[in-house]
Chains A and B, each alone.
Chain A
Amino acid sequence: MKKILIVEDDTFLKNLESSKFTREGFEVMPATTSEDVARLIAQTVPDVVLLDLVLPGVDGFGILEMLKKNESTKHVPIIVFSNLSDEKDVIRAKDAGATEFIVKANYTLDEIAQKIKTIVG
C-alpha cells in the first residue's frame, strides 16, 4: 500500500482528502505543521507528499526545503497542492524541487488520486 503524507491545516479539507485517498487505496499520513511532518518522516518515509503552502508556523516552502534536505525524503515526489497560483509561487515551488503544482479548486479529489497514481506508479 502506497503511503501518502498529507500536509494541510484546514481540518475539513484534510478530512475529505484522508477519506478519499484511503478509499483509493492509499495509506494516509496526515500532518498540519512542520513539527508533525518531522515526527512522521522520522518513523516512516512516505511514497509521495501532498503539500499545502499556507500553513501556521513554517509554511509549505519551508517544509519543501526541509524534505529536500533530508537524506531519507529527498527523492520522494512532492506535489504542491495549494490555492495560491501566482507565477512567483509556482516558480519558487518548482525551483525548490516540487514535482507538480496543483491548484486545489481546479480538480476533484478522484482526479488528484489518478494524478498521484501516475506519479507513484
Chain B
Amino acid sequence: MSEQELLAEVEQLKTANQNKADLISISAHELRTSLSAVKWLLKMLVDEDFGKLSDEQRSLLERASLSNDRMIALVNDVLTLNHTDDSTINYKIELIDMVQLVDEVVFDFTSEGFKKGVEIVFIKPSERLSVSGDKLRLRVVMQNLLENAIKYSERGSRISIFLTPAGENVQLTVKDSGIGIPPDEQQNIFNKFFRASNAVKKESVGSGLGLYTTKRIIEVHKGTITFETEQGKGTSFMVTLPRAASASAPAQEGV
C-alpha cells in the first residue's frame, strides 16, 4: 500500500469514527429527552402533585423511578465513553495542577457525601504536583473514583484522598472503607459493563462503564491504575500519572 493510499484509509477511518460518535451523541440526546419526561413525571406523581397515592402505588412508582435513573446513568456513561473513545486524537493537552483538580472535584461532591453521611478528606501534598494531560478527562477519572467510593461506603464512614509524589510519577489514592470487591470478581472490575455482585446489591443504579472508562483515560495518559481491597473492609484505588515539570515548562511533550 502506498503512503497516499494509507493516508486516504486513515482519513476514511477517522470519518467513520466521527460518524459513529455523532450518531451516539444524537441518540443520547433523544433518549435523554424521553427519560427526562419520565423522571420528572414520576417524581411529581410520588410527590403527590397530581393527587394522593396508596402505599402500593408509591412503592411501584419509586421502583419505576429507580429503573429510569439506571437508564439515565447508562446513557451518561455511554456519552462519557463516547467522548473518551472518539477523541484520543482530540485530547487537549495542558499542564494540570493536580491539587487544584482534585480539590475542585472534592468540592463538587461535598454535598453528595453529606447526603450519604460520608466524610471526604483530601490530604494535600506540601509541593505542587503537575501532570501533562487533558483536564476534562482527568476530571472524569477523579469523579468516577470518588463517586464509586461514596456509592459503596456506609453512612458514617470516611473517604481519604492522598496525592503524593512517587519518583517520576504523581500518585493519587482514593481510599474508602466500603463494601470491597469479592476476591473471585477482582479480575473483572475494569471490564466493560461488569459490576461486582455486592455492588449491584447495594446500589442498583450503575452501568459498569465507570472503571472501564477510567482505566482507558489513564492508559492514554501513560499512567496506571491498581487497587487493594478487602471485602467488607474497603477499597483503595491507586492511580499513577507521569509527573510534569511545574509552571516554568508548559506541556509541550504531549502525553
Contact = CB atoms under 8 A, between A and B. Distances in A.
Contact of B37 (A12, A87, A110): A12
Interface residues of A, number: 21
Contacts of B28: 83
Grouping DSSP codes into helix (H, G, I), strand (E, B) and loop, the A interface class, with mixed when no group exceeds half, is helix
Nearest to A12: B37
B206 to A, nearest CB: 15
A28 interface: no
A106 B72 contact: yes
Interface stretch (A15-23, A41-49, A56-64): A15-23
Interface in A53-87: 54, 83-87
Interface string A4-36: 000000101100110110010000000000000
* Main secondary structure on B side of the interface with A: helix
Nearest to B136: A87
A83 B37 contact: no
Contacts of A105: 32-33, 35-36, 39, 72, 75-76
Given A84-B25, A105-B75, 11 more contacts: A13-B33, A16-B40, A16-B44, A19-B49, A20-B40, A23-B49, A84-B29, A85-B79, A104-B36, A105-B33, A110-B43
Interface of B: 25, 28-29, 32-33, 35-37, 39-41, 43-44, 47, 49, 72, 75-76, 79, 83, 136
11 contacts: A13-B33, A16-B37, A19-B44, A19-B49, A20-B40, A84-B29, A87-B83, A103-B32, A105-B75, A105-B76, A108-B43
Interface of A: 10, 12-13, 16-17, 19-20, 23, 54, 83-87, 103-106, 108-110
